Structure 1
Amino acid sequence: MAETQKGILGWVERSGNKLPDPVFIFFYLIGLLILVSVFTSLAGYSALHPTQVDESGAPVVITAASLLSPDNIRRLWVDMPATFTHFHPLGYVLLVMLGAGVAERSGLFASAMRQAVRNAPKFLLTPVVVVVAMLGHLAADAGYVVLIPLAGVLYAAAGRHPIAGIAAGFAGVSGGFGANFVPGQLDALLFGITETAAETIDPSWDANIAGNWYFIVGMALLFLPLIWWLTDAVIEPRLKRFSPPDDAPMANIGDSNAPLAPEQRKGLGRAGLAAVIVCALWGAFLFMPGTPLIDEEAATPQGRLTPFYQSLVAFFFILFFVCGWAYGAAAGTVKNHREAVKLMAAAMGDMSYYLVLAFAASHFVAMFEWSNLGLIVAVQGSDAIEASNLSLPVLLVLIVVFSAIVNLFVGSASAKWALMSPVLVPMMMLLGVSPEMTTAAYRVGDSTTNIITPLMTYFPLVLTFCQRWRADFGLGSLTAMMIPFSMWLTIAGIALTFAWVFLDLPLGPGAVVDYQLPAQTTAPAPVQ
């Protein structure tokens, strides 16, 4: 462990360990925000509103508001329940997790991952592990707890180095954290926060959790061959020659390498049938008489599909819930509706820390909005960037790099985005960049440095998995092994972000790179 006290990695570990819990980071920032709001209010800090004009047609002046003013003090204490419960990500995440909790605890996610990886031909073992790892994000912690140790076992069984399998699984689950083939919990979480920030500029902007769908698929398709090449050509050849020990660590991992039981295979079949039925049901909502998920009166094709995009949170809740129950009923893990309810309740229990974090984050975001500082900084920041003549692809690349650096110290994706989005999203909207594109750039940086920081929650767990196969494998060994993945994934993510903006590709259904400010509206009174 002495290695962790030396060099840059030692500094990262020591510095990060000194940081308080993210909940208290928000509380400290609220205290700082109050002081800043008082001073900026006294100094007359202001900017011109980008979309609102007064009755004479002149732009509305936005002035910094003191959070110690009587109105804001009253708002803080009177509106505290509403501030918390109306926090956009809260409803999105809890709803998706109600369904995902059933799918995870019934055993569906674990069985699906085991079946997918076990059936992989030897030469395709690495890409299959990586694909399943990326899809494992839908299963919350199951990707870390189930897939990563299972990958080590399967590599050993195939005559390959088990730690190389652990590296591939870790790189896919955590290094490719923002990449996937379908939207899921992370999309609901991030776009809920994005919506709050975007409404500062455009109150009519609604989140679409499929707004990064094409982009995250692009990330997955780019990261997949890169992790495959790094694992097979760079990492595995550099590992010490492996000889299976007499006390094989398979015993410590349990029966992860055992074939699925007949009832588990039957459960997977039932879950697949349930998935087809749910997808067909949502398709019917698009084409049945009355078209409940299409706004026939909307002027644009994107507007017509707005109800469908907004329904995707409910879609994933129903999909996970029905598939989990179908699997559990066949596999014997969910015997009746009471057990299904218990699984949902257990999922909410796991969200207890997130609820505490959301309480702190919701008040920081709300008070930042009350102070008007976010909008003023965004307006003045966009003016300064516009004067610097930096291209939009370069600006988004800088967001990727900044997010990657912050990720070394603050692991929570929601905590970082709640801190950064109130300034970044409005600022980029004023520069003509959509909230979806800014979110996409953030999630690239939020992914690629997870695998090299000891502050990542599951980093010690992955180290333990490695030590099952090699007792002298230390923290420095794991970090050094994962640095090539982090470096190349960051470079690839930056290149993807640059190319996406340069080619002006759609980010998801109804989501584009560019953004156009809404028409100017008359404000009833200047913003205080």
Structure 2
Amino acid sequence: MQKFFNSIERAGNKLPHPFILFLWLCLIVAVFSWILASFGGTGVNPKTGAEVAVKSLISGEGAVFALTSIATNFINFPPLGIILVIMLAIGIADKTGLIAAFMQVSVIKAPRYLTTFMIFFVGMCSHVASDAAYIILIPLSAIIFQAMGRNPLVGAVTGYVAVGAGYDASILITPTDIILSGITTSAAHTVDAQAYISPLDNYYFIAASALLMSFVGAFIIERIVEPMVGKYTGDVELKLTEPDALEVKGLKRAGWATLIMIALVVAAVWPASSPLRNEEGGLVPSPLLNSAVALFGIYFVVIGCIFGTTTGKIKTARDAVGYMSESVKELAPTLVLFFAISQFLAWFKWTNLGEWIAIGGSHLLDSSGFGGTPLLVAFVGLAAVMNVFITSGSAQWSLMAPIFVPMLMLIGFEPALVQAAFRIADSATNIISPMSPYFAVCLAYLQRYQKDAGIGTLASMTIPVAMGFLIVWTLFLIFWMTMGWPIAPGVGLFMN
């Protein structure tokens, strides 16, 4: 087992940093566009009937485009503005300790028989705090397990897999929704220039997945992993620090604020003539759904400020602004990666390589007869394998979306459905990749309780969860497609 994971780690370490990887991909796009354009690479879009010709970046026209569009490619990158807005708001809730306190109270106050389920459910909802969820939930789960007389090693792993294996499932809108939907929108423009995939376009499926996979995760931990590991025989004991009285008071006030804000939104949208409804008086689509990012942003600013002022973390407006600045600083590595990704996607689109590959791929799939559900399942399998080596979801989706989104759109799949299938793979195999920095974080916590714990120790507990999530979640997608249910408000499974 250890040799296998070591080989994965060695192979992954040979990959360049994602930023460098996308710069290399830009060069590859330039070379291939020149070769295909030289040989007259063309195709006919079956949706529009228009002929598509590959354009060379290694030409006068291509050089002008590449040099004059660098800034606009980055500025117009779909996820950029939205992720900045959301993280400014969430930064206040995160830095004041609101999210951490909520996670602690949710798990600590859960009935004993629901503890494992609640760890999974809270882990999946904690992605509003991005990767900070790992740092909070791994030690918290270990301590809670030990306080209940259960094995703290299993507790630490439970916290780790709750966040990692369920990374793309949540009942809340998270930064992942924003980043993936922006990349999907950019890829879908290859086929339909008017296409727009919003952060809400996977909501029904992803919210239902959060509930289902919490039950699945709890079942695997309690019925497979925990009996396999056995009782803890060590003598290390870490103490649990519960939220203090001010934090509990702040949580209660944030809860009341949540109810008031929900009531205000309902009151605003209730009248048939509400400006938040569409012209026919409906809600799908509507200005209300288009305002989701703004509403979530306002919500997190309000509850973050309420919690911060109650606990004393915010004494003046300057404190709130400071927390917002801290959250943006933490986005710096993401913004640097976004710069390289935005250039790659823009070059890929301008050269028509994406559309040319999609047309050829769609014809191949049509002639092979391999389509429908089996095709989507094969796509999930491919993405799950790639996810072991490329642990950044945005980087991996930026590689796959420009090819697979247009290709599957041309044979009838909604781009939002393709994105939902990717999210299954992007989540399930996170926890078995030694390339993930949080694999090492979890291993470090295991070694606090058991000094000789190694990669094999962690792998033996995470592999059952990863395989269980991948299989059950994929079957759930198949069931969802069989039932023909929409995956989000106003978003079906197949294109008309």
Gapped runs of 5+ residues in structure 1?
A: 53-58, 251-256, 517-528
Which residues of 2 match residues 154-169 of structure 1 at below 5 A? 154-169=144-159
Q: 2:312 — aligned with what?
A: 332
- What do residues 424-469 of structure 1 show as CA deviations (whole Å, max 9, x unaligned)? 1111111111011000000000000001111012110111111111
Equivalent in 96, 100, 103 of residue 110 of structure 1 = 100
Deviation at 1:306, TM superposition (A): 3.7
Q: 2:117 — aligned with what?
A: 127
Q: Contact 1:393–1:502 (CA<8 Å) still a contact in 2?
A: no
Q: Contact 1:102–1:340 (CA<8 Å) still a contact in 2?
A: yes
Deviation at 1:258, TM superposition (A): 2.4
Deviation at 1:167, TM superposition (A): 1.9
Q: Contact 1:282–1:315 (CA<8 Å) still a contact in 2?
A: no
Gapped runs of 5+ residues in structure 2?
A: none
Please state if 1:221 is matched with 2:219.
no
Q: Contact 1:407–1:449 (CA<8 Å) still a contact in 2?
A: yes
Change in 2 beyond 3 A, CA 1:380/1:361: same
Please state if 1:382 is matched with 2:385.
no
Q: Distance in 2 between matches of 1:384 and 1:61?
A: 18
Equivalent residue of 2:493, what SS? coil
Q: Distance in 1 between matches of 2:112 and 2:280?
A: 54
Q: 1:99 — aligned with what?
A: 89
Equivalent in 478, 487, 499 of residue 479 of structure 2 = 499
Q: 2:262 — aligned with what?
A: 279
Q: 1:86 — aligned with what?
A: 76
**Which shows bigger deviation, 31-40 or 166-175?**
166-175
Q: 1:209 — aligned with what?
A: 199
Equivalent residue of 2:45, what SS? strand
Amino acid at match of 2:479: A
Please state if 1:192 is matched with 2:182.
yes
- What do residues 317-343 of structure 1 show as CA deviations (whole Å, max 9, x unaligned)? 111111111111111111121111111
Q: Contact 1:212–1:508 (CA<8 Å) still a contact in 2?
A: yes
Please state if 1:146 is matched with 2:129.
no
Q: Distance in 1 between matches of 2:222 and 2:423?
A: 26
Q: Contact 1:249–1:469 (CA<8 Å) still a contact in 2?
A: no
Equivalent residue of 2:194, what SS? coil
Q: 1:36 — aligned with what?
A: 32
TM-score by length of 1: 0.91
Deviation at 1:288, TM superposition (A): 5.3
Amino acid at match of 1:294: R
Deviation at 1:217, TM superposition (A): 2.1
Equivalent residue of 1:278, what SS? helix
Amino acid at match of 2:339: F
Amino acid at match of 1:365: L
Equivalent residue of 1:50, what SS? coil
Please state if 1:22 is matched with 2:18.
yes
Aligned length: 496
Q: Contact 1:293–1:305 (CA<8 Å) still a contact in 2?
A: no
Amino acid at match of 1:144: Y
Deviation at 1:227, TM superposition (A): 1.2
Q: Distance in 1 between matches of 2:347 and 2:172?
A: 34
Q: Contact 1:404–1:446 (CA<8 Å) still a contact in 2?
A: yes
Deviation at 1:84, TM superposition (A): 0.4
Please state if 1:65 is matched with 2:32.
no
Q: 2:421 — aligned with what?
A: 441
Q: Distance in 1 between matches of 2:276 and 2:285?
A: 7
Q: Contact 1:110–1:142 (CA<8 Å) still a contact in 2?
A: no
Deviation at 1:492, TM superposition (A): 0.8
Deviation at 1:295, TM superposition (A): 2.9
Amino acid at match of 1:500: W
Q: Contact 1:209–1:309 (CA<8 Å) still a contact in 2?
A: no
Q: 2:248 — aligned with what?
A: 265
Equivalent residue of 2:195, what SS? coil
Please state if 1:419 is matched with 2:410.
no
Equivalent residue of 1:458, what SS? helix
Q: Contact 1:149–1:465 (CA<8 Å) still a contact in 2?
A: yes
Q: Distance in 1 between matches of 2:289 and 2:383?
A: 27
How many percent of aligned residue pairs carry the same amino acid?
34
Amino acid at match of 1:35: V
Q: Distance in 2 between matches of 1:129 and 1:91?
A: 32
Deviation at 1:220, TM superposition (A): 1.8
Q: Contact 1:397–1:497 (CA<8 Å) still a contact in 2?
A: no
**Which shows bigger deviation, 410-419 or 178-187?**
178-187
